Amino acid sequence: MALNTSCNFPAIFNFGDSNTDTGADSAAFSLITQPNGETFFHMPAGRPSDGRLTIDFMAERIGLPYLSAYLDSLGTNFVHGANFAVSGATIRPSNKSRTGGGPSPFYLDVQLSQFQQFKTRSQLIRNKGGIYSNLLPKEESFDQALYTFDMGQNDIGLGFFTNQSPEEVKAVIPDVITKFSKNVQAVYNLRGRSIWIHNTAPIGCLAYILTNFPVNESEIDKAGCATPYNEVSQYFNQKLKEAVVELRKQLPLAAITYVDIYSIKYLLISQAQEFGFQQPLVACCGFGGKYNYSNTARCGQTVVVDGKPVFIGSCADPSVRVSWDGSHFTEAANKFVVDQIATGKYTDPPITLQNACNRNSSST
């Protein structure tokens, strides 16, 4: 049984990719435009979704404000934490540039370096006093904070988009996981003790994979997902869970929670109608093809059809859709994910987010 002592986390520090990016990529590179943000924020809010992301719902459950992106210099308040996640980020660095179709330059090592600087400089600024001191976390908040990780999907996707076979992508996963573990150890060395790790989603159920990598009918499962690609996600998750077991041995003072995001998302996609959702594989905001997704006509862009400009907007009701734009979830789907996390059924140890500071011997 998990302990029931509520942790009262004063802050969250998040590391990740677009699944939890609350504005970094939009601030650093290209502004996220309408219709993103339409459901909750009623305007683009730096998130690749119609509304809130999982990290937003997690902050709500802990009773904290939404996290400001570390890279967003305008109107940011870091008292209750900071978000280092950036869309397109990978765990391992890549030699492909972002402009050349590669991942974000803000891979996990860089995010960790930014956190280290943030921790040091925030206290220097607080000690000086002045108007900025009230926008930064107290020193004790770093020890008491929740540290969340949600990365890996782009490491897998990048392999596919550089023409690697599923077996070739699998071959590099152990090295990816080793690099991930080193960053968790670095957070621990910086006195991070409550560590919350999401595994990766069933990538073979996402429109951007299904559109770009057609597979044989025999390789499509009952949910309509591409089995060879999902098997790579499952292998990643297997290696990640093994790493978490080792990290618990190496970091005895840490409370490390492993969260099975894969199973939650596959449950939603494979049984969408039971949960009030429709067309789980089809993008709500997209254009063309079986999955309403195209590499050249993305959500929020304008394309020319029969000589006339057509704005690519959202579907009639995003609240009953799972896929927002072919690679990210809708707000409704993100809320479903966090509601399932809250049951404790998909966490190891079986613990709620609010109790994630409690070390538990029943974890495996």
Residue 57 φ then ψ, to 5°: -65, -35
The CA–CA distances, whole Å, from 338 to 140, 204, 295, 335 equal 27, 21, 29, 5
Q: What is the pLDDT of residues 303-356, one digit of tens each?
A: 999 999 999 999 999 999 999 999 999 999 999 999 999 999 999 999 999 999
- Domain limits, the chain: 12-276+329-355
Tell me the pLDDT of the chain (364 aa) as tens digits: 345 578 999 999 999 999 999 999 999 998 999 999 999 999 999 999 999 999 999 999 999 999 999 999 898 999 999 999 999 999 999 888 777 678 999 999 999 999 999 999 999 999 999 989 999 999 999 999 999 999 999 999 999 999 999 999 999 999 999 999 999 999 999 999 999 999 999 999 999 999 999 899 999 999 999 999 999 999 999 999 999 999 999 999 999 999 999 999 999 999 999 999 999 999 999 999 999 999 999 999 999 999 999 999 999 999 999 999 999 999 999 999 999 999 999 999 999 999 999 986 455 5
Residue 265 CB neighbours (<10 A): 24
Q: What is the DSSP code string of 258-323?
A: EE-HHHHHHHHHHTGGGGT-B-TTS-SS--STTTT--TTS-TT-EEEETTEEEE----S-GGGBSB
Question: What pTM was estimated for this model as a whole?
Answer: 0.96
pLDDT at 1: 35
Token code pair at residue 327 = 């690679």
Q: Which residues are catalytic?
A: 18, 325, 328
Closest alpha carbon to 71 in 115, 30, 23 = 23
The CA dihedral of 30, 35, 39, 43, to the nearest 10 degrees, is 60
Whether cis (ω within 30° of 0) applies to the bond prior to 318 is no
Tell me how far apart the alpha carbons of residues 310 and 44 are, in angstroms, rounded to a whole number.
19
Condensed to tens digits (0 to 9), the pLDDT of residues 259-271 reads 999 999 999 999 9
pLDDT in the model for residue 360: 66
The rounded distance, in Å, linking the Cα atoms of 146 and 357 is 8
Question: Which CATH number is associated with domain 12-276+329-355?
Answer: 3.40.50
Q: What whole-number distance in Å separates Cα of residue 289 and Cα of residue 308? A: 19
- Predicted pLDDT at 94: 87
**Alpha helices (H) in 162-226, listed in sequence order:** 166-189, 207-212
- What is the per-residue pLDDT for 214? 85
